[in-house]
Amino acid sequence: MAAGNWTFPNSARTNLLNGTFDIDSGSYKCALFLSTSNIGAGSTTYAGVTNEVANANGYTTGGIAVTLTLSGTTTVTVDESVDPVWTASGGSIVARFAVIYEVSGQVLCYCLLDSTPADVTTTSGNTLTVATNVSGVFTLA
């Protein structure tokens, strides 16, 4: 399975350019959502995104804290310092989307976990890692 590209909701582009997002010092999380989620171009806040994976089987509502890093000068890359990892326990974790959002509430970006698209199922005792591409979450050039 291959994950899709990270995608910006419309408001995130403006929030990046007007300084709402402080990439290298803001607090961010990565959360998982079901196929029935409304995540898309019109999404603005974490609270407005529906159908997060239930708080069970190794997943905690709200997701996992992630640290975003900046590198470069002419071409600037945003990456995660450590990829978020969930270990399924007591049952499976089933998800369709990963969402990176600022803890204060604004959605930065989201991706399909399987570009088919299809649900990703992680069975008990196994891990689900949202690994970013070697070129980072996104690049501004």
Read off the pLDDT of residues 68-89 as tens digits, 9 standing for 90 and up. 888 888 888 887 778 899 999 9
More confident residue, 71 or 44: 44
- Exposure of 45 in the CB half-sphere (CA atoms within 13 A): 4
Rounded distance between C-alpha atoms, residue 1 and residue 132, angstroms: 14
Q: Is residue 87 part of a domain?
A: yes
Q: Is residue 52 part of a domain?
A: yes
Q: Is residue 4 part of a domain?
A: no
What tokens were used for 62? Answer: 């709200």
Q: Is residue 49 part of a domain?
A: yes
pTM check: above 0.85: yes
Domain count, the chain: 1
Range of the domain at 125: 10-140
**48 confidence band (pLDDT: 50, 70, 90):** very high
Bridge partners of 102, per DSSP, are 28
pLDDT at position 122: 97
Q: Is residue 65 part of a domain?
A: yes
Strands 28-33 vs 97-102: parallel, antiparallel or unpaired: antiparallel
pLDDT at 66 over 80: yes
Q: What angle do CA 27, 122, 39 make, to 5 degrees?
A: 50
Q: Is residue 134 part of a domain?
A: yes
